[in-house]
Amino acid sequence: MFKQLFAVIGMSLQTLPQRLGASSVIVIGIAGVVAVLVSVLAMGAGFRHTLADTGRPDRVIILRGGSDVELNSNLTRTDVSIISNAPGLAKDSNGKAVLSSELVTVVNVPKRDTGTDANVTLRGVGLKLTEVRPELEVVSGRMFHPAVRELIAGVGAARQFRGLGIGSRVHLRNADWTVVGTFTSNGDVHESELLADVDTVGSSIERSGYSSAVGLLTSPAEFSRFKDALTTDPQLKVDVQREPDYYAAQSKQLTQIINVVGTTVAIIMAIGAMFGALNSMYSAVAARGLEIATLRAIGFGALPVLLSVMIEALLLALIGGIIGASLAWLFFNGHSVSTLGGAFAQVVFELTVTPTLIATGVVWACVIGLLGGLFPALRAARLPVAEALRAA
């Protein structure tokens, strides 16, 4: 049985070059489906990664209750000083809480690809910035100085938007801000932002309060103690979240949309590719009619014939799938794009073709190949031997 199977498969593969036109239809059709599927899902994966990589479990973000995002939130100076005394916060060598009071606003900066203005986050940060966010690293230029209108730009923002190179000026209200450096931050969402001194930003947009406070806990386990202390304080009305939870919530909606749209388009394409595969495999079976009939006449079973057709379809599909996934990886992996995120500001992210996505693409390819090969294979197995021999 296996001997027969290998013999038939060997024959069908040897004759494959003669049916190159029809076979390439399967390969190209499936490569198209997989390339689209993997590229679109890579967009969703990249966006999710950027936001999921933001924050650490021992870091907390405090917003005014019911505000959802920093841009809507408002904390007074009194609020922040109460928060800084809450239990569980890490302390520096002088005994001061490792807490950054932040003020978020958006500024219009033109996007490189469309040339139209986009909302870019300008985040005013406290003096404890580098202790609260040790992953932040100035990679060119220098850190901004407090009390002067200087800012540093995330590498993502500098790449996606115009006029954020070192030495450029960003206009906000009636003053110019100078870009003095660029920074990386572990590839997270802050790389899409501009950072400056919180009080200078506050005076510039005439706001005395803050948007949020970001603090480092002594350990992730301190979270509930810290949260309870703040939420039970009658002087405060705040929402306390672990940073990863806050940012994950912002990626949920868009990632979902991208995945639904991408999968729907890919399913429709897959149906089209399946028809193409059916067509090609039927014509392959027809072309090999004489060969199959002869094999059956000299005693080969129906099953090896059936399997050989299925395996041919599967193999072609696999090649298509691998080509499609490779194309997606080649063209789009690491491709940097930006979109309006959940917090009304641009999020710069890179399309990420993960191994899981490649595997997903190849699985899709195999399913299309199997479905496209099944009916032609059944026809091949049922081919009436005598008629087929006579027709030739």
Partner 1 sequence: MKYFPLIWATLWRKKTRTIFTLLSVVIAFLLFGVLETIDYAFANPSSGITGADKLITTNKYSITLPLHFADAQQIRSVPGVAEVTWITWFGGYYQESKNFVFALPVDTDTYFNVHKNEFVVSDGQMQAYRNTRTGALVNVALMKKFGWKVGDKVPLHSTIWTQKKDGSLDWTFDIIGSYDVKDPTQAGAQASNFLFHYELFDEGRSYGKGQVHWFEERVGDPSQASAISNRIDALFANSPNETKTQPADDFTMAFVKQFGDIGFVLRAILGAVFFALLFLTGNTMMQSVRERIPELAVLKTLGFGDGKVLGLVLAESLLLCAIAAAIGLALSFAALPIIKMGLQGVQLSPKALIPGIGAAVLLALIVGMPPALRAMRLNIVDALADKR
Residue selected from 139, 221, 303, 340 as contacting partner 1 according to rule CB under 8 A:
340
174 binds partner 1 (CB under 8 A): yes
The stretch near partner 1 (CB under 8 A) out of 50-58, 86-94, 135-143, 335-343 is 335-343
d(CA 338, CA 348) in angstroms, rounded, equals 4
SS3 326: helix
159 binds partner 1 (CB under 8 A): no
Question: Hey, which residues does 339 pair with through a beta bridge?
Answer: 347
Q: Where do the H-state alpha helices sit in the chain?
A: 2-14, 20-52, 77-84, 129-132, 155-160, 198-204, 223-231, 243-287, 289-297, 302-332, 355-382, 385-391
**Which residue lies nearer to partner 1 by CB, 184 or 279?**
279
The answer to whether 244 touches 52, Cβ cutoff 8 Å, is yes
368 binds partner 1 (CB under 8 A): no
Residues 279 to 298 in contact with partner 1, rule: CB under 8 A: 279-280, 282-283
CB-based contacts of 147, cutoff 8 Å, min separation 6:
197, 199, 200
117 binds partner 1 (CB under 8 A): yes
Return the closest-CA partner of residue 166 out of 193, 192, 140, 146. 140
Binding residue count for partner 1, defined by CB under 8 A: 60
**Which residue lies nearer to partner 1 by CB, 14 or 174?**
174
116 binds partner 1 (CB under 8 A): yes
* Ordered DSSP codes for 346-367: EEEEE----HHHHHHHHHHHHH
17 binds partner 1 (CB under 8 A): no
369 binds partner 1 (CB under 8 A): no
Cβ at position 323, least distance to partner 1 in Å: 11
Site of interaction with partner 1 (CB under 8 A):
21-22, 24-25, 28-29, 31-33, 35-36, 39-40, 43, 64-69, 71-72, 74, 105-108, 111, 113-114, 116-119, 171-174, 205-206, 237, 265, 268-269, 271-273, 275-276, 278-280, 282-283, 337-340, 344, 346
